[in-house]
Amino acid sequence: KNEVEQSPQNLTAQEGEFITINCSYSVGISALHWLQQHPGGGIVSLFMLSSGKKKHGRLIATINIQEKHSSLHITASHPRDSAVYICAVFTHSGGGADGLTFGKGTHLIIQP
Amino acid sequence: DGGITQSPKYLFRKEGQNVTLSCEQNLNHDAMYWYRQDPGQGLRLIYYSQIVNDFQKGDIAEGYSVSREKKESFPLTVTSAQKNPTAFYLCASRSYGSVGEQYFGPGTRLTVT
């Protein structure tokens, strides 16, 4: 079973700062997802990665398959970025439970 | 608009009562999932279904039951056998062939007293 570790668990920063959230996993994967969960509880998908780097607005996600590590970066952070960011990995198990394995999330607060 | 709906958003029940959480999707997705989220823990898979009239247990299926009579619907029943039912429950779906990309519903927060 894949183990997914995120760091830090909690992060408070000032508006405008560059933010980095890290994710490590223990078993080779088919894809990695970064998800955002707002206080209301709903989850939205930010990125799906299987290699390299993706950028969307102020968000950048990178993955290093050899090191089993991914990072989510937020440039010019804003209070509206405050949310829980969750890393999840997908593995073709060939049987057994289908679905994603989730990290515990990083609770990000951006102060004005 | 296509998406996943869960109802209600908040649900309160007395201990010993069964309760059913609704999940409907109009995305024409084949696979549907139920997850449970507790404070300080990652989402954990309760049940999943890859096709109508078929479903599989996830990591924490004890005390829960599901049905998949229609492609668009995947209700979850929290039975009185579930020892700690108070939690946030999320339903998700994905299209077959997509590499794990799941779409999530807004969730139902269940409180049992």
Q: Give pLDDT tens digits for B29-79.
A: 999 999 999 988 889 999 999 899 999 999 899 999 999 999 999 999 999
- Res B91: pLDDT: 95
Chain B neighbors of A31, CB-CB under 8 A = 99-101
Model confidence at B86: pLDDT above 90: yes
Q: pLDDT band for position A98 (50/70/90)?
A: low
A84 touches B: beta carbon within 8 Å: no
In angstroms, the CA A30 to CA A63 distance is: 12
In angstroms, the CA B3 to CA B13 distance is: 27
Chain A neighbors of B101, CB-CB under 8 A = 31, 33, 45, 48
When pLDDT is averaged across residues A31-59 and rounded to a whole number, the result is 91
When pLDDT is averaged across residues A77-85 and rounded to a whole number, the result is 97
Query: Which tokens belong to B52?
Result: 């109508």
When pLDDT is averaged across residues A46-70 and rounded to a whole number, the result is 95
Query: Which tokens belong to B38?
Result: 């507790």
Place of tokens 């890859």: B50
Nearest CA in chain A to B38: A104
- Res B21: pLDDT: 96
Contact between residue A41 and residue B106 where contact means Cβ atoms under 8 Å apart: yes
- Res A77: pLDDT: 98
- Res A94: pLDDT: 45
CB-based burial of residue A1 (10 Å sphere; 0-12 exposed, 13-18 middle, 19+ buried)? exposed
Model confidence at A31: pLDDT above 80: yes
- The rounded mean pLDDT for chain B is 91
Q: pLDDT band for position A96 (50/70/90)?
A: very low
Q: Which amino acid is at A72?
A: L
A105 touches B: beta carbon within 8 Å: yes
Q: pLDDT band for position A95 (50/70/90)?
A: very low
Tell me how close the Cα of A75 comes to any Cα of chain B, in angstroms: 25
Lowest mean pLDDT among A50-59, B46-55, B89-98: B89-98
Inter-CA distances, B86 with A81, A92, A99, B17, B39, Å? 28, 31, 23, 13, 11
Could you tell me which residues come within 8 angstroms of residue B42 by beta carbon, excluding any fewer than 6 positions away? A4, A86, A101, A102, A103, A104, A105
Q: Which of A42, A89, A104 sits opposite B106 (nearest CB)?
A: A42
CB contact under 8 A, A31 and B103: no
A-contacting residues of B 67-96, CB under 8 Å? 88, 90
Q: What is the largest CA-CA distance in chain A?
A: 48
Model confidence at B95: pLDDT above 90: no
Nearest CA in chain A to B101: A48
In angstroms, the CA B21 to CA B8 distance is: 7
Q: pLDDT band for position A53 (50/70/90)?
A: very high
- Res A76: pLDDT: 97
- The rounded mean pLDDT for chain A is 90
Tell me how close the Cα of A30 comes to any Cα of chain B, in angstroms: 7
- Res A2: pLDDT: 74
